Amino acid sequence: QSALTQPASVSGSPGQSITISCTGTSSDVGGYNYVSWYQQHPGKAPKLMIYDVSNRPSGVSNRFSGSKSGNTASLTISGLQAEDEADYYCSSYANSGTLEVFGGGTKLTVL
């Protein structure tokens, strides 16, 4: 099972919005509404930001939103803040071989 495809890096200025894509197949992203997004700051454990495509856990800012179209899911961060600078990983439930597959990760730089 190949990793989901994410851009290696994205950047934006404070206050702007950015979107990170996550492309899979019909066996994972396209087949289920079980896409999650995780934020990881350097030296820290990942943190759940979005689950089931578009749901936010309690305590996560509403500046973070998720969506999906076909085999591609997206994470949008609006009103960028310096603290958003981190690595972001998508993941999806999968039905072939492996139960879970992660994206390769996207490094977000806030300029």
Partner 1 sequence: EVQLVQSGAEVKKPGESLKVSCKGSGYSFPNYWIDWVRQMPGKGLEWMGTIYPGDSETRYSPSFQGQVTMSADKSISTAYLAWSSLKASDTAMYYCARRRQQWLETPFDIWGQGTTVTVSS
> Which range in 23-31, 39-47, 63-71, 76-84 contacts partner 1 by CB under 8 A?
39-47
Which amino acid is it at 17? S
H or E stretch at 9: strand 9-12
Told to check if 31 binds partner 1 by CB under 8 A, we report no
> Which residues in 3-22 contact partner 1 (CB under 8 A)?
3
Closest distance to partner 1 from the beta carbon of 110 (Å): 20
Told to check if 46 binds partner 1 by CB under 8 A, we report yes
Told to check if 39 binds partner 1 by CB under 8 A, we report no
> How many residues in the shown chain lie near partner 1 by CB under 8 A?
26
> Which range in 12-20, 22-30, 68-76, 100-108 contacts partner 1 by CB under 8 A?
100-108
Angle formed at CA 66 by CA 20 and CA 107, multiple of 5 degrees: 25
Render 28-72 in DSSP notation, one character per residue: TGGG-S-EEEEEE-TTS--EEEEBTTTBPPTTS-TTEEEEEETTE
H or E stretch at 20: strand 18-23
> Which residues in 59-98 contact partner 1 (CB under 8 A)?
89, 91, 93, 97-98
